């Protein structure tokens, strides 16, 4: 079972950020760059599958600048057998359509695989579209927000999250899945200091975008501008009373005063 896992370098949510500083490669401090946490669930899924099968390998792939080296090395520290970084320092490709074409071309270049896994979304743009887009470029079956995985011959059976519950579907291998942050892969494994140190000394192959047969990266949809939301002007109101019923009445009265629809409350 050969599995490709795509991991993304994102800016740490605790790092200072403005709409003009959304590209992780622009950061001065490497500590500001982190692995997209949702992708760790995909790594966990890949590692569990290979462990249960007793054979195969997991290859982590990241499109990013040299700031993303720590991301692919973290994947190795978690247990991935190999890692590849696609150089993006100069090209600075962030358009979703273009990124999907590059990732699809990387899958084609790797060649031998049974599954391609993604996290369910990213912490920055959060579109949750990358897995379906790559599946379209590769003409492969796909399922998103997968919680559980099992195999039956040349097919993979998955339970995926839908509104109000889950749905079980079966896909022909090879397939592309995005992994939910719930279910069997809810808790990505921790790694030891020893494995982190070993991974830090690993030389990660770097591919150039020009090496991949991605074709034109032009897109019909482009981000024109990003702006920070206006500062909030509402003030926090604290109700203090020992009686729960009184507190509820005070809260509902305050919400009603704001003009909110409170249904049966009058």
Give the integer Cα–Cα distance in Å for 237 and 259.
Answer: 16
Q: Read off the CATH number of the domain in which 22 is found.
A: 3.40.50.620
Both 9 and 107 in one domain: the answer is: yes
Give the integer Cα–Cα distance in Å for 59 and 42.
Answer: 12
pTM: 0.83
The pLDDT assigned to 264 comes to: 63
Interhelix angle 69-78/193-200, rounded to 10 degrees, is 140
The pLDDT assigned to 107 comes to: 97
Both 142 and 245 in one domain: the answer is: no
Q: pLDDT by residue (tens digit) across 143-191?
A: 999 999 999 989 999 999 998 889 999 999 999 999 999 999 999 998 8
Both 243 and 155 in one domain: the answer is: no
Q: How many domains, the chain?
A: 2
The pLDDT assigned to 230 comes to: 86
Give the integer Cα–Cα distance in Å for 258 and 251.
Answer: 11
Both 201 and 262 in one domain: the answer is: no
Residue 60 phi/psi, 5-degree rounding, is -95, 135
Mean pLDDT, to the nearest integer, of 97-103?
Answer: 95
Which distant-in-sequence residues (6+ apart) come within 8 Å of 144 by Cβ?
120, 128, 131, 132, 160, 177, 178
Q: pLDDT by residue (tens digit) across 50-69?
A: 999 999 999 999 999 888 99
């Amino acid at each position: 079972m050969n599995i490709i896992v795509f991991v993304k370098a994102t800016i740490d949510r605790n790092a200072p950020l403005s709409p003009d500083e959304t590209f992780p490669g622009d950061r001065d401090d490497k500590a500001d760059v982190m692995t997209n946490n949702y992708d760790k669930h995909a790594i966990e899924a890949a590692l569990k599958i290979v462990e249960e099968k007793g054979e195969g390998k997991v290859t982590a792939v990241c499109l990013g600048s040299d700031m993303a080296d720590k991301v692919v090395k973290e994947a190795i520290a978690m247990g991935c057998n190999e890692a590849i970084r696609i150089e993006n320092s100069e090209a600075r490709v962030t358009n979703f359509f273009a990124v999907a074409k590059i990732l699809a071309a990387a899958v084609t270049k790797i060649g031998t695989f049974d599954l391609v896994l993604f996290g369910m979304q990213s912490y920055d743009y959060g579109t949750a579209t990358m897995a379906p887009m790559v599946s379209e470029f590769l003409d492969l079956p796909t399922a998103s927000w997968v919680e559980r995985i099992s195999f039956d011959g040349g097919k993979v059976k998955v339970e995926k999250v839908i509104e109000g519950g889950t749905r079980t579907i079966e896909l022909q291998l090879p397939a592309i899945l995005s992994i939910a942050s719930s279910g069997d892969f809810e808790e990505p494994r921790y790694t030891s200091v020893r494995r982190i140190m070993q991974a830090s000394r690993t030389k990660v192959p770097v591919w150039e975008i020009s090496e991949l047969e991605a074709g034109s990266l032009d897109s019909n949809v482009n981000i024109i501008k990003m702006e920070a939301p206006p500062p909030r002007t509402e003030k926090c109101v604290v109700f203090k009373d020992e009686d729960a019923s009184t507190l509820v009445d005070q809260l509902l009265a305050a919400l009603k005063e704001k003009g909110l629809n409170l249904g049966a409350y009058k």
